[in-house]
Amino acid sequence: MANVGLKNSDTFSDILDVAEHLFRQIGHQKTTVADIARELHMSPANIYRFFTTKGEINEAVAGRLLAEVETGIRKIANSPRSAGVRLREVILKVEKLNSDRFRSDRKLHDLLERTYNERWPIMDTHLEAVDRELVHIVSGGMTAGEFRQGVPQTAAILVRNACLRFLHPRFVVECAEDPEPTADQMVDFCLSALA
């Protein structure tokens, strides 16, 4: 794991900024620690003061990308709109982020796909964050009488699993040519189940 005491330093952020830039250009698999060090005009040994392996750099960059997703859905989940509207917007937001990343930053998309497929530890943390926001939305909908009473945690996980093709980077790509169901149709289905 990256050296926690150094995480807030400018050098730590600089390493991640350069790594992300190189990942966009040549991909995370082709980028080496030496490449990152060269861009920063430092030795690879200096990089290893902050990260013990290249895998930690990969995970940290992926974590930053996932944090962007979490920030976006947290903002939606905490908005004053109805639970149904917020649920729809969360699913559509994640689908759009994944689709946009695939079209404009395919190499970063590949990194996130690997993160999901190999179930890196940050993915578990990310899915917990997504589930927390979905539970928040569903629980609020139940409290407001918009959704029928039930166990919010179970309902939220069922919604996430039902909408997985719109949330998982690989499925967003693999199913892009399939006309149906659309994300809106799947959310309609979930909202019907919750009502």
Q: Quote the distance between the C-alpha of residue 160 and its chain's center.
A: 13
Nearest-10 crossing angle of helices 54-77, 83-104: 150
pLDDT, residue 180, reads 81
In this structure, are 133 and 166 located in the same domain? yes
Residue 64, phi then psi, degrees to nearest 5? -65, -40
In this structure, are 93 and 151 located in the same domain? yes
In this structure, are 88 and 33 located in the same domain? no
User: 10 Å Cβ neighbour count for 46?
Assistant: 15
Residues shown for the chain: 195
Report how many helices (DSSP H) and strands (DSSP E) the chain contains, helices first. Answer: 11, 0
In this structure, are 112 and 159 located in the same domain? yes
pLDDT, residue 176, reads 73
Tokens encoding 17: 């900024």
Which residues of the chain have a pLDDT value below 50?
1-6, 8
**CATH classification at residue 5:** 1.10.10.60
| Residue range(s) defining the domain that contains residue 98 | 60-194
d(CA 189, CA 195): 10
Tokens encoding 193: 């189940």
The domain tally of the chain equals 2
In this structure, are 65 and 33 located in the same domain? no
**CATH classification at residue 123:** 1.10.357.10
Cα dihedral across residues 97, 102, 107, 112: positive or negative: positive
pLDDT, residue 100, reads 86
